[in-house]
Chain A
């Protein structure tokens, strides 16, 4: 759709029209004529990623604030912070996952049936409060870390920035819901640990996807998905189900980013293995909280919840189930690696994880 020369001439001749330039109307530099209609899921990002607006460049010299498809100007201010390479941050699932995130937002205030919270035996309430102290501590690190990279995402790849915003929103809700859970039933927050600050050391987006999405959030997702095992009420089950749903999106984003990198930059495989080496070293059962749900106070709290109490029999059962959770975490981790194209990790995986890994399916 262009504006006819007659209209332009008429506008210039109108009283007050003498100073109008109108070249942006006369010769638009951005594609025009799109008429995108909403589909069954409404008007989505995928719907509007069409024609030239859907051409995601593999590299760009767009160093200004220009969003993909907008017309450039020669005097626009530049920033060298913006990454020019698609592979630096791209994830093919970003548009879909962003829209899903928008549709599936929930409220920790009203979507968890807090009023139905039952009184629990004190040892179980203490254990749940300890688990939630751990979770509220680490969850927003998964907001701080992706946020760190948001200023680097060029407008050519703006969908990545939007997805990161949805992840940050989700992680805020997780910090919030687990804090509320610890404060909901009379115990409060308990022992904090060393936390997950190490994830903030990431110096590269793919390093972040490896350490945060593939390992950190992946292990937490597996835990949340098995929340039925250690949740003590409908309140807790609902909380873990909702959080698991969010974590699934974050993990999927990271998996698809890494798949893209492994496919388009196979020379980075060994580098990625080094990130995983580091994370697997931190995941040993001897570490209190970097053990991500496995050891120390978090592990003990989980064992009490899983076994239903602190008697010798209950603890034995609790630790047996915790081992089964760890096994599930490690096997789901390996599955993600296989999807990414790093199935050879099986030969490099840390010994303690190897002990939990099922044999390869051939």
Chain B
């Protein structure tokens, strides 16, 4: 921890320095601005949470945020606000999720530390092809999360300050994803193996190329997270050690929050617009599914790694891979239902349907 200086260190400071203007007269106009006086919080078992702090008028996030700089919500805006910021998102419908503040606090409570909270020493040497298969799978997860993380971090600068809960939540998501990149890379290098082959990158490209924030959420928090969560929930069939199981379980726990933000955001987006918004979501899902299927179809190392890791024979591995793919699609469809976008199954892109049925 950084050392903190004491008052005594600075007692001898000179009262005036040539070249430095004299202090102004007492003004305190800032103390008279008509902002709301919040109630005194009653601190509960979860501490002083954001939801508790943002009480009364401070809780109100308007549908449109009018200030083009970093004015905090609930403060008294300056007359001279300087440069209008490069933010592009001023409408609540574009980013809002009702659970953002709660997910933010939950994410902080549930943060885990890959360096010290994974039982790395429980990993035992494995047959070469099994270790390589696990390494290929974890390399792929590490790469996916680096892509989601990088692009999401890049979008924070687009979100205006009226929706600070969302910015805060997304910071936790980016930090979760960073830890996933790190943790799965460590797993690949911990047991006599190494990293596997990169992905074809079609889905990564779609994430980079997303035009709209909600489109990005559909790719990362809805499609990718549904598929990855279903995979992590089968992690006990892939992993061979306590460390492996911890990795998948901890990651799954994080991903449930990411999915929860995605569901609530998509719900808010859909409920605050007309039929065109549903058509937008349909288009984003179609594009995401095509790109996902392109990756799955071309990624022979990953396909074969799943077959080897999931079964003690090739046939059983193939059956388990089909089971995994079906679980992934079910997770996506359930996610969409929860986001008030039911009935997607007949519209699942044919290329994705094909690779799910014939993995």
Q: How far is the CB of B102 from chain A (nearest CB, A)?
A: 11
Pick 22 A–B contacts, CB within 8 A, sort by A: A7-B129, A15-B314, A15-B315, A20-B304, A24-B300, A24-B304, A65-B143, A67-B195, A76-B201, A130-B30, A141-B70, A143-B156, A146-B153, A147-B174, A151-B208, A169-B175, A176-B104, A189-B35, A195-B69, A228-B5, A244-B4, A245-B2
Interface core residue of A140, A187, A237 (most chain B CB under 10 Å): A140
Q: A198-B82, A321-B13 are in contact. Are A355 and B18 (CB under 8 A)?
A: yes
Q: Which of A4, A11, A187, A247 contacts B37 (CB 8 A)?
A: A187
**Docked-complex contact A147 and B156, CB < 8 angstroms:** yes
B6, B18, B175 — most chain A CB neighbours (10 Å): B175
Q: Which residue of B lies closest to A172 (CB)?
A: B171
State whether the Cβ of A185 lies closer than 8 Å to any Cβ in chain B: yes
Question: Separation in Å of the A2 CB from the closest CB of chain B?
Answer: 6
Selected contact of A45 from candidates B27, B53, B182, B313, CB within 8 Å = B182
Q: Does B162 contact A (CB under 8 A)?
A: no
Q: A196 to chain B: which residues have CB within 8 Å?
A: 70
The answer to whether B72 touches A77 (Cβ under 8 A) is no
Asked whether any CB of chain B lies closer than 8 Å to the CB of A354, the reply is: yes
A244 contacts which of B2, B21, B153 (Cβ < 8 Å)? B2
User: What residue of chain B has the Cβ atom nearest to residue A151's Cβ?
Assistant: B154
Interface residues of B in 83-122 (CB under 8 A from A): 83-86, 104-105, 108-109, 111, 113-116, 118, 120-121
When A67-B143, A151-B150 are in contact, do A195 and B81 touch as well, CB less than 8 Å?
Answer: yes
B contact residues around A201 at 8 Å (CB): 83
Partner of A168, one of B86, B139, B174: B174
CA distance in complex: A22, B235 (Å): 22
CA distance A326 to B318 in the complex (A): 67
Question: Contact at B194–A301, with CB atoms within 8 Å?
Answer: no
CB <8 Å contact, B21 and A285: yes
- List residues of chain A with CB within 8 A of the CB of B78: 191-194, 288
The answer to whether A29 has its CB under 8 Å from any CB of chain B is yes
**5 new A-B contacts at CB < 8 Å, known A158-B146, A192-B70:** A42-B115, A65-B199, A98-B182, A190-B75, A300-B26
Question: CB-CB < 8 A to B171: which residues of A?
Answer: 143, 168-169, 171-172
Contact B154 A75 (CB under 8 A): no
B268: Cβ under 8 A from any A Cβ: no
Q: Which of A240-266 contact B (CB under 8 A)?
A: 240-241, 244-245, 247-248
Q: Which residue of A50, A70, A114 has the most chain B CB atoms within 10 A of its CB atom? A: A70
Which 3 pairs, one residue from A and one from B, show the smallest C-beta to C-beta distance?
A324-B13, A42-B115, A109-B47
> Inside 8 A of B14's CB, which chain A residues have their CB?
323
Give the distance to chain A from B304, nearest Cβ to Cβ, in Å: 6
Tell whether B61 is near chain A: CB-to-CB under 8 Å.
Answer: no
Complex interface: chain A residues within 8 A of B190 (CB): 34-37, 43, 48
Complex Cα distance, B252 from A52, in Å, reads 30
Interface check A108, CB cutoff 8 A: yes
Q: Does B293 contact A (CB under 8 A)?
A: no
Kindly count the residue-residue contacts between A and B in the assembled complex, taking CB atoms under 8 Å apart: 438
Is B82 in contact with A24, judged by CB distance below 8 angstroms?
Answer: no
The complex places the Cα of A354 from the Cα of B205 at a distance, in Å, of: 50
Chain B positions 1-50 with a Cβ under 8 Å from a chain A Cβ: 1-7, 10, 13-21, 23-24, 26-31, 33, 35-38, 40-41, 43, 46-50
What is the CB-to-nearest-CB distance from B53 to chain A, in angstroms, rounded to a whole number? Answer: 4
Report Cα–Cα, A93/B43, bound state, in Å.
Answer: 38
Instruction: Write out the residue numbers on chain A whose beta carbons fall within 8 Å of the beta carbon of B154.
Output: 147-151
Q: Is the CB of B40 within 8 A of A185?
A: yes
- Chain A residues with Cβ below 8 Å from B192 are 1, 32-35
In this complex, the interface size class of chain A, counting residues with CB under 8 Å from chain B, is 35 or more
* Contact among A36, A144, A173 for B157, CB-based, below 8 A: A144
Say if the beta carbon of A56 comes within 8 Å of chain B: no
Q: Which residues of B contact A8 (CB under 8 A)?
A: 129
B193 to chain A, nearest CB (A): 6
Contact A161 B19 (CB under 8 A): no
Q: Closest CB-CB distance, B40 to chain A, in whole Å?
A: 6
Interface of A: prevailing SS: helix
Assess the B120–A42 pair: CB atoms within 8 A: yes
Q: How far is the CA of A195 from the CA of B86 in the complex (A)?
A: 13
Docked-complex contact B115 and A166, CB < 8 angstroms: no
* CB within 8 Å for A65 and B193 given contacts A3-B128, A103-B113, A245-B2: no
CB–CB B182/A162 < 8 A: yes
A216: interface (CB < 8 Å): no
Known: A64-B198, A356-B20. A310 touches B150 (CB 8 A): no
Nearest neighbor of B18 in chain A, beta-carbon distance: A355
Closest CB in chain A relative to B52 CB, distance in Å: 8
Asked if A102 contacts B205 (CB within 8 A), the reply is: no
**B177, CB-defined interface residue at 8 Å:** yes
Residue of B nearest to A173 (CB): B108
* Distance A229 CA – B5 CA, assembled complex (angstroms): 8
Q: How far is the CB of B11 from chain A (nearest CB, A)?
A: 8
Is A147's CB under 8 angstroms from B153's CB? yes
A110 touches B47 (CB 8 A): yes
Residues of A within 8 A of B40 (CB): 185-186
